Structure 1
Amino acid sequence: MKQGFKVPHTLVLLLGMMLVALLATWVVPQGFFDTVTADNGRQMVVPGTYTLSDSRHFLTPWDFLTAIPRALAAAQDVIFFVFIVGGVLSVARATGTIDALIGRLLERFGHKPNVLIFMVVFCFALASGAIGTAGEYIPFVLILVALCKAMRLDAMTAVGMIIAGYGIGYGVSAFNPFTVLIAQQIAGVPVYSGLEWRLAIFVPFVLIGFHHVWSYGKNVLADPNVSLTRDLPCPLSGTNQGEYPKLNGRHQVILLGFVAALVIAVWGIATRHWYLYELGGVFIAWGIFTTLVGKLGADKAAGQFIEGVKDLATTAMLIGVARGIALILEDGQILHSLVYGMSLPLSHLGAELAAVGMLVIQTILNLFIPSGSGQAYVTMPLMAPVGDLIGVSRQVAVLAYQFGDGFSNMIVPTNAVLMGIIGMAGVPYHLWFRFCLPLMIKLMAAAAVVLVLAVSFGYGDDVQPKVATEVSQGAE
């Protein structure tokens, strides 16, 4: 009796979700919306065109098995980026740079962990909201985990800082090019419109995230036994407090190289549409630079790189399997059916409740469509005209999409970036879920209030397209 229920390994949980998805393809009606090709080549659904398939396509257990390697292949960009970052950070640590940096940060923030937590949450939220950064935070995971350990916090606090900033930044973004701008273009409202409202809610939502992480961290400082990760090994934990090397000139040059790599990465994202392949190349270049400046020698650097990669094999597998859930739903031809079925009840609600209903639907759908831009192309062509019929402006529909996509990024196991971050930090998914669920509830409650107020105040009415008549005729 004392043993109780043992939470399965994260890999078992993900495989179980894949199995549930497979079973769902046997019972959920299969159907499709017609799609058109947008200007950027992405497929966008056409509202009012949903039709059931003439015959059911059954996936078999063999399809389940082959979905696993296919999912690993589909998530290869994130997997290989995680491997590269882990290997390069291992090289950097061999030079003493990371330990010296941690020692320097401890001198500055050792007695002010609340300041550190706020700065990380705020800065990461700002970056995610402005340019859509997500996987770019992976290089910071091991550094922040080691720093938190030295400050008598834990890995959960480090992960909480990163993911709270990432998720809130996406959720209340003013001009994220991968979500807000795409959703506004699909909805037919001017890009960047409604900016003032989104800027106004940015800091309050950041404060919700900071308060949650700091409240947990404060409890861990007062009593280490309340740590959710107290019984787990901590990665990058070979240095005890008081043993940190001095930050010398060579370390500073290596860190300047890291800053330069980040600047180049941000420039590439903003101006050249770079993503993980290009960012991986940038970090490989920094690894070579670190090897030369740190005078490690080629053999030692190669050995350190491989050791760093080895440590992340489990993380890579979890990232790949997580992608398999959506893959099975797509293969089973029920993804559009789920979207269609969820959108139907909205037409029976008042405008305020319908806006909150959009938030709930977008949150649930992020489990099946973890790509922010992909979710916009599937859901916004449906939510925008539905909103026209029930009195929810298209600007509010975009805001509901933002909240649902961004906040749920922090908790859905199909999000490859989330699985990469918690995997690198050595935090099992079930413990992360336990930490994050209360934060999700707070953010969703605040988002629901904001949506109701937005409808009440007529947010977006000034840019609402005059299409209600056409939509009604199309719906018939």
Structure 2
Amino acid sequence: MKKEFTVPHTLVLLLGMMLLAYIATWLIPQGFFETVILDNGRSAVVAGTYALADDQIRLSPMDFLVAIPRALAAAQDVIFFVFIVGGVLSIARATGTIDALIGRLLERFGHKPHLLIFMVVFCFALASGAIGTAGEYIPFVLILVGLCKAMRLDAMTAVGMVVTGYGIGYGVSAFNPFTVMVAQQVAGIPLYSGIELRLAIFVPFVLIGFHHVWRYAKMVRDDPSKSYMAGLPCPLDNTESTDYPSLNIRHQLILFGLVASIVIAVWGISQKGWYLYELGAVFILWGILTAIVGQLSADTAANRFIDGVKDLATTAILIGIARGIALIMEDGQILHTLVHGMSMPLSHLGAELAAVGMFIMQSILNLFIPSGSGQAYVTMPLMAPVGDIIGVNRQIAVLAYQFGDGFSNMIIPTNAVLMGIIGMAGVPYHLWFKFCFPLILKLMLAASVVLVLAVMFDYGAGVQPAAMPAASLLE
């Protein structure tokens, strides 16, 4: 009897990708671009300076193995933030607040799941597009999983709402400070320029995402056996809860604390340069206040916190291993070679095809450079002068980068935030890929149409600088 093929565990898939990256370091020529330090302290490559490395590095099998704990250490900020959020939410669940909130939301949206899905996708896309929120959504995952479960949906629908909003928000952002503003700065065009087009395409792209999630959710509601998650355990266990507690004053105070924590976090990110360490501290404070308001004993709160952390151990490992893929390529000196090799063919294409090619290239490179701002510093100094040569305005090059970075964030396994979200919801990566890949194709098609039209209508011509040496992009 033929053995049926089964998809490997996500950990096996990630380790396999690390191994492929390791093998690639032996096969791909090693090289570098020269880099300069910008006024903000970040380094950026200099176009036209790529050269093969004088000293070729051959990573040993021991280097490969050592890269695994190094990757876990490199991703520690995300890992410990996920641990903290999981532990604190476990405390909140012990107070009955999460169940009470789900009950209240069911009263309002129980018969209107399409409205709930649209609101979540729209609001998350708006926040990501405006201020670059991403990891801040992790606390909402289990709440949405519980809500979807009560509405006869599944965890995939919950993750779909969160990640679709996050990815589309980044992809069509009007003024995300971590992507759009950085890319425009490096490309040498005015900040906030070209905002009219990005605002105009926001709602249409959100509607594409909403339709994809709602179509799946409707299929699950009509026939639960068609759920991609059928037969898999729910992170909130498999018991059916129909008796939700009322939302009393204690619960309301705890939820007010959550909202206040999010507001403080957003303020800290935008005004003080906070990131995951500070956000973790804010949520620890919320957890302590939650235990006090919820009248949990110190031992009970501690035990529930540890239980929440234990539930996310697998997620933490996956987040760390995902970081190892880029780490191996950096150690093996092939990252710049890949960027250089992928940018060269663009100069031989017409402007319309080149713009779409830039978008595809940025999407692929996001697998190896999952940081949005990091990708801008590596690729925009190359894309801007290439665009000057072939007739793609720099504003269009920025838009191509933005589409590539944002949409691919929804599916690449090296994105630590994505792995944290699907891990918290108990969604295996291969099933998420099955759900998300058709959406990525839809978004890529729509984005390609926008880029071709942008070239045809000379989008960004008003801010296109005069020809200049490539290195001056970084001055």
Cα pair 1:95 1:294 within 8 Å, conserved: yes
Q: CA deviation at 1:276?
A: 0.6
Distance 1:472 1:22, change over 3 A: closer
Superposed displacement of residue 242, structure 1: 1.8
Task: Indicate the SS of the match to 1:198.
Answer: helix
Determine the C-alpha separation between the residues in 2 that align with 1:106 and 1:60: 56
1:181 aligned residue: 181
Q: Secondary structure of the residue that 2:36 maps to in structure 1?
A: strand
Letter in 1 for 2:171: G
Give the letter for the 1:254 counterpart: I
Aligned equivalent of 2:19: 19
Question: What are the equivalent positions in structure 2 for 1:18-97 lying under 5 Å apart?
Answer: 18-97=18-97
1:418-457 counterparts in 2 under 5 A?
A: 418-457=418-457
Deviations 1:219-242 (A, max 9, x none): 000000110001110012466332
Aligned to 1:139: 139
Counterpart of 1:53, as a letter, is: A
Instruction: After TM superposition, give the deviation of residue 471 of structure 1 in Å.
Output: 4.8
Residue pair 2:33, 2:49 contacting (<8 A) in 1 also: yes
Q: Secondary structure at the match of 1:367?
A: coil
CA contact (8 A) 2:381 2:470 kept: no
Tell me the equivalent position of 1:373. 373
Post-superposition offset of 1:55? 3.6
What TM-score results when the alignment is normalised by the length of structure 2? 0.98
Partner Cα separation in structure 2 for residue 402 and residue 381 of structure 1:
14
Judge conservation of contact 1:99–1:239 (CA < 8 Å) in 2: no
Q: Distance in 1 between matches of 2:40 and 2:5?
A: 49
> Match of 1:446, as an amino acid?
A
What residue is the counterpart of 2:462 in the other structure?
A: 462
Q: Secondary structure of the residue that 1:44 maps to in structure 2?
A: strand
Q: Distance in 2 between matches of 1:117 and 1:127?
A: 16
TM-score (normalizing by structure 1): 0.98
Cα distance in structure 2, aligned partners of 1:335 and 1:194: 31
Paired residue type of 2:448: A
The letter of the residue matching 1:381 is P
- Alpha-carbon deviations, 1:234-279, whole Å to 9, x = none? 0124663322111111111111111111111111111111111111
Distance 2:216 2:109 in 1: 18
Alignment-derived partner of residue 256 in structure 2: 256
Q: Structure 1: 5+ residue runs without aligned partners?
A: none
Counterpart in the other structure of 1:308: 308
Which letter does structure 2 place at the counterpart of 1:264?
I
CA distance in 2, matches of 1:397, 1:147: 40
Task: Number of aligned residue pairs: give it.
Answer: 473
Letter in 2 for 1:200: A
Paired residue type of 2:325: I
Q: Which residue of 2 aligns with 1:324?
A: 324
Q: How far apart, in 2, do the equivalents of 1:319 and 1:191 lie?
A: 33
Q: CA deviation at 1:39?
A: 1.3
Please report how far the alpha carbon of residue 3 of structure 1 lies from its aligned counterpart in structure 2 after TM superposition.
4.6
2:125 maps to which residue? Answer: 125
* 2:216 alignment partner in structure 1: 216
Q: 2: CA distance between counterparts of 1:302 and 1:452? A: 56
Q: In the alignment, is the contact (CA less than 8 A) between 1:146 and 1:237 conserved in 2? A: no
Measured at CA, do residues 271 and 239 of structure 1 come closer, stay the same or move farther in structure 2, by a change above 3 Å? farther
Contact persistence 1:96–1:245 (CA under 8 A): yes
Deviation at 1:43, TM superposition (A): 1.0
On the 8 A contact 2:46/2:470 being kept in 1, the answer is no
Partners of 2:179 and 2:402 within 8 A in 1: yes
Deviation (angstroms), 1:473 = 12
Question: Which residue of structure 2 lines up, in the alignment, with residue 339 of structure 1?
Answer: 339
From the superposition, tell whether residues 392 and 277 of structure 1 become closer, same or farther in structure 2 (CA, over 3 Å): same
RMSD over aligned CA atoms reads: 1.3
State whether residues 370 and 409 of structure 1, in contact with CA within 8 Å, keep that contact through their aligned partners in structure 2: yes
Counterpart AA for 1:222 = D
**How far apart, in 2, do the equivalents of 1:386 and 1:472 lie?**
13
Q: Residue 127 of structure 2 aligns to which amino acid in structure 1?
A: A
- Quote how far apart the aligned CAs of 1:40 are: 1.5
CA contact (8 A) 1:93 1:99 kept: yes
For the 8 Å contact 1:33–1:50, the answer to whether it is kept is yes
Q: Contact 2:47 / 2:471 at 8 angstroms: preserved in 1? A: no
Q: Which amino acid aligns with 1:73?
A: A
Post-superposition offset of 1:297: 1.1
Between the aligned partners of 1:131 and 1:410, the Cα distance in structure 2 is 18
SS of the equivalent of 1:370 reads coil
- Contact 2:46/2:471 (<8 A) preserved: no
Aligned 8 A contact 2:15 2:321 in 1: yes
Runs of 4+ in 1 over 6 A off after TM superposition: none
The Cα of 1:76 is off from its aligned counterpart by 0.4
In structure 1, C-alpha distance between the alignment counterparts of 2:41 and 2:272, rounded to whole Å: 17
1:82-131 Cα distance to aligned partner (Å, 9 max, x none) = 00000000000000000000000001000000000000000000000000
Counterpart residue identity of residue 149, structure 1: K
- The letter for the 2-side match of 1:155 is A
Map of 2:357 onto structure 1: 357
CA distance in 1, matches of 2:470, 2:12: 45
Q: Which amino acid letter does the alignment assign opposite residue 327 of structure 2?
A: L
1:353 is matched by which residue type in structure 2? L
How far 1:53 sits from its partner (Å)?
Answer: 1.3
Q: Distance in 1 between matches of 2:430 and 2:263?
A: 35
User: Corresponding residue for 2:166?
Assistant: 166
Q: 1:288 to 1:194 in 2, by over 3 A?
A: same
Q: Which amino acid aligns with 2:79?
A: I
Q: For residues 50-82 of structure 1, give each alpha carbon's deviation from its aligned partner in whole angstroms, at most 9, with x where no partner exists.
A: 001124210111111000000001000000000
- Equivalent residues in 2 for 1:366-405 (5 A)? 366-405=366-405
CA distance in 2, matches of 1:54, 1:256: 58
Alignment of 1:284 onto 2:291: no
Task: Give the match's secondary structure for 1:36.
Answer: strand
C-alpha change, 1:238 and 1:101, in structure 2 (3 Å) is farther
Report which stretch shifted further, 3-12 or 155-164: 3-12
Taking the aligned partners of 1:365 and 1:471, their CA distance within structure 2 comes to: 21
